[in-house]
Amino acid sequence: MIEFKDVGVRRDGRELFAGASFQLHPGHKVGLTGNNGTGKSTLFALLLTQMGTGDTEVTLDKGEVSIPDSWHVAHMAQEVGATTQSAIDYVLSGDEQWYEINAALNDLSSVSDEQIGVLHQQFDEIDGYRTPTKAAQIMAGLGFKTSQHELPVEGFSGGWRMRLNLAKTLMSRADLMLLDEPTNHLDLDAILWLETWINAYMGLVIVISHDQAFLDATVGHILHVEQQKITLYTGNYQQFIRTRHERMAQQQQAFEKQEATKAHLDDFIRRFRAKASKAKQAQSRIKQLERMAELSPMMADNPFSFQFYEPANMSSPLIELTNADIGYGETPLLHNANVQVTPDTRLGLLGMNGAGKSTLIKALVGELGVLTGKYRVSDTLKLGYFNQHQMDILDAKATPIEMLRRLAGKTSDAMLRSFLGSFDFRGERIDTPSELFSGGERARLTLALIVWQRPNVLVLDEPTNHLDLQMRQALTIALQGFKGAVVLVSHDRELIANVCDELYLVHDGIIEEFDGDIGDYGKWLAEKRKQENASDKNAGKKKSKKESKKFVSRETDNSQASNKASDNSSNSKAATPALSKEEQRKLAAEQRKMTAPIRREIEETEKTLAKIDKQLVTLEEKLADTDLYEESRKSDLLILLNEQTALQQQHSDNEEKLLLSMTTLEEMEAKFA
């Protein structure tokens, strides 16, 4: 377990926390929460320092941190450099033990016969044959297609590189996993997959996240950093909120009671200090006052308190897409789109990554012209558009008040400062150039500038990516009170559920109303993922023999390929007159006769694979005998290892033969469809 005993840490002369004492055990899933700047990332850096890793060294100011010496840690890096390494290879490198052994087994020139046996044994002990499959499953869960596995890391955008970083971290054989904002660059389907993965993970996970639904679904403990203290709560985030509010109410009552007691003691001391008969009692009251522990009053929960102004003018509809094809160049990505935005619209857009949600958003705001159909906007339209690009084009050299003054004209500085204060820009931060701001501060400033302009339509594309829980809560409340229209794309389920009245699903090139809530969408995603995984698996089976031997593997999958006719075949079939029962029987008989040889070949190959599987299991049992690795039995070991290698080669050859036969059968059956 990890144990903190009276730990205190300072950074840059500032005390971040003191007197921290708690225990975390294997299997715990822990959410690390607290306002920005309270020391969450420092706590991660401290753990990494104590385990002898990490880029930033953090030393204890006081106390003791105990972590088992045998533990290994995995930490999700926040950056990844441009490298020509393939995506799958980069992810596999997260399993350092497997990566080293596999590299040695693929280059035996400098390895002795004895070392070969040891390497094979180690590879088998870590279940190394299944590791490439595990990496592929993780990548699929995070939204990568099989066709992207061999692409170089440098070819991915920043957000997708962060996904690769996460995948690499999840591959680690770590006892402790530290995840810092893992959902920031994920869409909803990837977040749902990650929740399942974390719940199944056997080690200790500590995660920093501003996604309340994600925390509720994954963690059973909350470590909360507040007012230089770290408190461990049992339960998920919702339970933590309830417990903390109860404690805060009790603290407020204790504070008020203490203040009343202090006032009474002060009054007694003031009245009787100078009287000889009461001096001793007065001194006693002074000591009592000095001994009293300082209690803090209940702090205001949220530093953000903004609201959207009521729009001045509105008409209906404000934005309208009619029978629109939308895409890039001359290639439509979305077909026959019909979307109408009225003053009452509260629309959430759902869809898998790459389905076209952002493309639809760009069409709605006029950034992307329609290829066919109509796009119309009202003369009264005043658009408030938030996306990552809007954050990136903030004037880097300008301060918040300078940028706001450009919009506000002759409005007084006092009013501008008060407005910015509602977004928690106070003191020196109001006069700080935006180039020095964090992602969260830039997001808040962008929202502040949008709010000031009094839009009647808000189009928000992932507005919560850089916002903490308190700002997300404030944004949700503000949107609920907004008098205009809202179109929202977000992976924050709480925001969608609390703001949107209707949901549209973008998938397979079409846009349609989704009949259900955000929970039902999670079920839809799970079913869609199963279908895509099955499709990817069948596509993966068609890789060449050369590609399949990049990693040491003896994986087998005898799943039958789905026998689906193409759309063209379906259309042709629809145009063909219906056959009589006699004609159907003749056609079926002809099909069975034509495909019989290939079916027999598939059956024989499957039997051969089953036989080889049994032989490999028997060999593995023999290789598990520790006596086999003694010097006197070196020749026996080499014989078994050679036999194992030969069987694995036979298995690979027969598996490829099976896949080719299944593909041939599928093509033959398609001709009869």
Q: Using one digit for the tens of pLDDT, what is the confidence trace for 367-408?
A: 999 999 999 999 999 999 998 777 778 888 999 999 999 998
Calculate mean pLDDT across residues 117-128.
Answer: 83
Asked if 370 and 444 count as a contact pair (C-beta separation under 8 A), the reply is: no
Looking at residue 34, its pLDDT comes to: 86
Calculate mean pLDDT across residues 515-544.
Answer: 70
Looking at residue 233, its pLDDT comes to: 92
Q: What is the dihedral of CA 564, 569, 573, 579, to 10 degrees?
A: -70
How far CA 581 is from CA of 54, 569, 578, in Å, comes to 73, 21, 9
Tokens of 622: 């023999």
Which amino acid belongs to residue 523? K
Looking at residue 276, its pLDDT comes to: 57
30's enclosing H/E stretch is strand 29-33
Looking at residue 541, its pLDDT comes to: 52
Calculate mean pLDDT across residues 145-170.
Answer: 88
Asked if pLDDT for residue 476 goes beyond 70, the answer is yes
Separation of CA 273 from chain center: 64
Calculate mean pLDDT across residues 550-555.
Answer: 44
pLDDT tens digits for 215-235?
999 999 999 998 889 999 999
Fold of 1-72+174-235: Rossmann fold (3.40.50)
410 confidence band (pLDDT: 50, 70, 90): confident
How far CA 135 is from CA of 177, 316, 583, in Å, comes to 17, 51, 49
In whole angstroms, what is the distance from residue 213 CA to residue 192 CA? 10
Looking at residue 16, its pLDDT comes to: 87
pLDDT tens digits for 172-184?
999 999 999 898 8
Looking at residue 267, its pLDDT comes to: 75
Of 247-261, 267-281, 457-471, least confident by mean pLDDT is 267-281
Calculate mean pLDDT across residues 595-611.
Answer: 82
Looking at residue 246, its pLDDT comes to: 78
pLDDT tens digits for 15-58?
888 999 999 999 999 999 987 778 888 899 899 988 888 677 88
138 confidence band (pLDDT: 50, 70, 90): very high
Asked if pLDDT for residue 320 goes beyond 60, the answer is yes
Instruction: Name, in order, each residue with C-beta under 8 angstroms of 663's C-beta and a sequence gap of 6 or more.
Output: 542, 561
228 burial type by CB count under 10 A (0-12 exposed, 13-18 middle, 19+ buried): middle
How far CA 378 is from CA of 298, 319, 386, in Å, comes to 48, 6, 20
Of 75-89, 242-256, 505-519, least confident by mean pLDDT is 242-256
Asked if pLDDT for residue 540 goes beyond 60, the answer is no
The domains of the chain are located at: 1-72+174-235, 82-166, 242-291, 319-526, 574-672
Calculate mean pLDDT across residues 255-262.
Answer: 72
Calculate mean pLDDT across residues 71-93.
Answer: 85
Between 302 and 351, the more confident residue is 351
Q: State the pairing for strand pair 62-66/229-234.
A: unpaired
579 confidence band (pLDDT: 50, 70, 90): low
Between 618 and 576, the more confident residue is 618
533 confidence band (pLDDT: 50, 70, 90): low
pLDDT tens digits for 349-371?
998 877 889 899 999 999 999 99
Calculate mean pLDDT across residues 499-515.
Answer: 91
Calculate mean pLDDT across residues 157-176.
Answer: 90
Instruction: Name, in order, each residue with C-beta under 8 angstroms of 608's C-beta and a sequence gap of 6 or more.
Output: 654
Asked if 326 and 337 count as a contact pair (C-beta separation under 8 A), the reply is: yes
251 confidence band (pLDDT: 50, 70, 90): low
**What percentage of the chain has pLDDT greater than the value 90?**
30
Strand order of the β-sheet with 383-386 is 383-386, 457-461, 485-489, 346-350, 502-507, 510-513
Asked if 563 and 555 count as a contact pair (C-beta separation under 8 A), the reply is: no
Between 660 and 610, the more confident residue is 610
Looking at residue 612, its pLDDT comes to: 85
Task: Report the predicted TM-score, pTM, of the whole model to 2 decimal places.
Answer: 0.65
Asked if pLDDT for residue 300 goes beyond 90, the answer is no
Asked if 336 and 325 count as a contact pair (C-beta separation under 8 A), the reply is: yes
Query: What is the residue whose two structure tokens read 């694979």?
Result: 609
Paired residues of 207 in beta bridges: 31, 179
Mean pLDDT of the chain: 81
Looking at residue 534, its pLDDT comes to: 65
In whole angstroms, what is the distance from residue 42 CA to residue 36 CA? 11
In whole angstroms, what is the distance from residue 364 CA to residue 387 CA? 13
How many helices (H) and strands (E) the chain has is answered by 22, 18
Query: What is the residue whose two structure tokens read 């990568």?
Result: 144
Asked if pLDDT for residue 153 goes beyond 70, the answer is yes
Helix (H, G, I), strand (E, B) or coil at 460: strand
Calculate mean pLDDT across residues 281-294.
Answer: 62
Looking at residue 574, its pLDDT comes to: 41
Asked if pLDDT for residue 122 goes beyond 50, the answer is yes
In whole angstroms, what is the distance from residue 365 CA to residue 560 CA? 46
Calculate mean pLDDT across residues 147-153.
Answer: 89
Looking at residue 273, its pLDDT comes to: 63
- The domain at 319-526 falls in which architecture? 3-Layer(aba) Sandwich (3.40)
Domains 1-72+174-235 and 319-526 share a fold: yes
Tokens of 612: 């080889």
